[in-house]
Amino acid sequence: MSERQEREPTVLQYPLVLVPALGCDARLWHPVVDRVHDLVECVVVQGSGTSIASMADDVLTQAPDRFYLAGISMGGYVSLDIALKAAGRVAGLALLNTSAIAAPPDRRQSSIGVVELAESGRFDEAVDLVSGAVAPARPDVSALAAAMARGLGAEVFKAQQLAVLDRRDRTSEIAKIAAPTLIVAGDADVITPLRLSEEMASSIPDAELHVLEGIGHLSPLEDPAAVAARIRDWLVRSDGRARRTTP
């Protein structure tokens, strides 16, 4: 056993709340949960609503009083909203494959297009378009992404697309985040380019950025071992800071 393993507590003092990406359910996080559940209690929360703010409020109603928080893609937008409106409850923040910007015009148009497809009775076609884009080099990941989206159904799919296209720009606010922050990005992510993660890392005080080589938009499925390793390190660091500052 390594020195680091000997020092790690078996259970951290707060649970870890994990928020999935658009069109995804708890299966997105399962490969990471399998690798960290010995260290921390894990709860995957699927916030509902037609706006990022309403999703964040829904997650907060389901979350414990204080918790570590990790969100990916749309879940990252939700997690940023939570960290800004309920800072006292968030002991640590992890942002994966996400950004703080509002939806660019081309992405807004893309979301409108897939919503229109779903509303016209072509939900499966809309799902195939989205799932094919998130991991074009990984057919297995794209297939699971499609299965998750179909499982959630057309109404949830449309609500999430509308929430994402209308999200707020948070770039001027994230400097307020005081929680220990981990940012994970994939250098092959065409949905959220690396530069957007770099911009967040430069704005959030003491944020730590980790770039995964050859990884696209759904990093917990594409490289769960690397993602879990980063999350374990961040959790231990966050827990140590929380213990030092808790009266």
* Tokens coding 149: 């989206």
Close Cβ partners of 222 (under 8 Å, ≥ 6 residues apart): 135, 138, 141, 186, 212, 215, 216
Q: Do 16 and 42 form a contact (C-beta atoms < 8 A)?
A: yes
Average pLDDT over residues 175-204: 97
Q: 3-100+169-245: which CATH topology?
A: Rossmann fold (3.40.50)
* pLDDT tens for each residue of 198-214: 999 999 999 999 999 99
Average the pLDDT over 180-209 and give the result.
Answer: 97
CA pair distance 80, 69, nearest whole angstrom: 10
Of 73, 59, 23, 21, nearest to 191 by C-alpha is: 73
Q: Residue 98: which H helix or E strand, with range?
A: none
d(CA 173, CA 128): 35
Name the token pair of 69.
């928080």
Q: How far does CA 160 lie from the centroid of its chain? A: 14
The domain limits of the chain are: 3-100+169-245, 105-162
Residues 59-87 have pLDDT tens digits of: 999 999 999 999 999 999 999 999 999 99
Mean pLDDT over each residue of the chain, to the nearest integer: 93
Calculate helix-pair angle for 52-62, 154-165, nearest 10 degrees.
120
Residues near 205 by beta carbon (within 8 Å), at least 6 away in sequence: 175, 177, 178
Question: Tokens in use for 170?
Answer: 């948070």
pTM for the model stands at 0.93
Percent of the chain at pLDDT exceeding 70: 95
Name the region of 23 (left: φ>0; alpha: ψ -120 to 50; beta: rest). Answer: left
Long-range contacts of 51-57 (CB under 8 A, 24+ apart): 51/162, 51/163, 51/166, 52/77, 52/78, 52/81, 52/163, 52/164, 52/166, 52/167, 52/168, 53/81, 54/163, 55/81, 55/163, 56/81, 56/82, 56/85
What is the rounded CA–CA span in Å between residue 232 and residue 226? Answer: 10
Coil, strand, or helix at residue 58? helix
Q: Express each pLDDT in 5-31 by its tens digit.
A: 444 445 899 999 999 999 999 999 999
Which CA distances in Å does 182 have to 1, 94, 110? Answer: 26, 5, 29
Tell me the per-residue pLDDT of 113-158, one tens digit each, with 9 for 90 and over: 999 999 999 999 999 999 999 988 899 999 999 999 999 999 999 9
* Residue 166 and residue 103 in contact, taking contact as beta carbons nearer than 8 Å: yes
CA dihedral of 171, 113, 148, 153, whole degrees rounded to 10: 120
Query: Measured between alpha carbons, how far is 172 from 137 in angstroms, rounded to an integer?
Result: 34
